[in-house]
Copies of this chain bind each other. A is one copy, B any other.
Amino acid sequence: MKIVCSKTELLNRVNIVLKAVPAKSTMPILECLIIEVKNDRIKLISNDMELGIETLVKGEIIEPGTVAVNAKVFSEIIRKLPDNDVTIDTDSNYLLTIICEKAKFTISGKSGEEFPYLPNIEKKSAVVLSQFTLKEVIRQTVFSISDNESNKIMTGELFEINGSELKVVSLDGHRISIRKITLKEEYNDIKVIVPGKTLIEVSKILSGEFTDEISLFFTDKHILFEFDDTIVLSRLIEGEYYKINQMLSSDYETKVTINKKELLNCIDRATLLIKETEKKPIIVKIDDRNMELKINSTIGSMDEEIDITKEGKDITIGFNPKFFIEALRVIDDEDIDIYLINPKAPCFIRDKDESYIYLILPVNFNSAVQ
């Protein structure tokens, strides 16, 4: 195998496949990436058995062939090379020579025979959306998946397509995040659970440009993302997702309109007083024109008022400040609406079209601190 390509192009492509290389594996071959040169294409491949990535590298092919090389070592060498053409050459013992200007590296590779190549997926009926939109939808929901592997379904996100609506849902038992977007076309109904890890890695590779598109393909067991000469293939999580509709309610007793940034900064300040081991709630007291936020901990106390517009009853309610901070951080609106029922019922942050809904469960608070 012998190829020549630019350092920048090669590094970009290596960085893409690195997303599916496990840091440590009981199967050493998984710590490798594959350079496969055949059919006039230079392809890099990685696979951690949950997630597989293939991406094409632009370059000149001098001799076809395939080699497996430790992904971390290879990527670090490429990263530090001068910004010029790189020649990669292997001999019959899979010894890899990397030459760029006057620098010459030699590292040992392997045959790619043991490598678990990606299965062939029959691609039918692509769901097409902009990379910007998918990246945003992931950012706005993925923070509320659970990282507890004992409940596999909560570690993923629901992707549900009905007609031209894509609904993405994540939940962790204390809160639910929902984003809905309208697709350009109508599609057959789809309802799958995509691993959160897949979405996080895909999101890192996406350009985030509004004009760049991505195609999603679904099978019973897999989701395939196709974009920019790259495919990312992930297993789906098996099982039935939670029935969230019965947890959502549009009834409310109190509606508050508040400046998002002011609320976020205030709660952020309050969390200074909480050590990680302490689970202190923030107490929110809503009357006609003010939202008063209070926190009391072993370190000290904080008290702050924010101007609001209110409809309905006064209410005092306690929350885990982290859940509020994480939802507020991903909302782009300047002013937000918060809907409350009573101190034991979930609160909702949602816009008028319900393009986003964040449900947060309240926590009990000691009445002494009010």
A304 to B102, CA, bound (A): 5
Chain B residue contacts of A299, Cβ below 8 A: 73, 107
Q: Which residue of B lies closest to A107 (CB)?
A: B300
Q: Mark A283-307, 1 if CB is under 8 A from B, else 0.
A: 0000000000000000111111110
**A77 and B272 within 8 A (CB):** yes
Stretch among A48-56, A182-190, A245-253, A261-269 lining the B interface: A261-269
Q: Mark A57-91, 1 if CB is under 8 A from B, else 0.
A: 00000000000000001001100111000000000
Which single member of B103, B106, B107, B108 contacts A269 (CB below 8 Å)?
B103
Which single member of B108, B268, B300, B305 contacts A108 (CB below 8 Å)?
B300
In A290-346, which residues have CB < 8 Å from any B CB?
Answer: 299-306
Copies in the complex: 2
The interface size bin for chain A is: 20 to 34
Q: Which residue of B lies closest to A77 (CB)?
A: B272
A363 to B92, CA, bound (A): 35
A76 to B108, CA, bound (A): 50
Chain B residue contacts of A265, Cβ below 8 A: 80, 82
**A105 and B302 within 8 A (CB):** yes
Chain B residue contacts of A81, Cβ below 8 A: 269
A104: Cβ under 8 A from any B Cβ? yes
Q: Interface centre among A80, A104, A105, A304, by most B CB within 10 Å?
A: A105
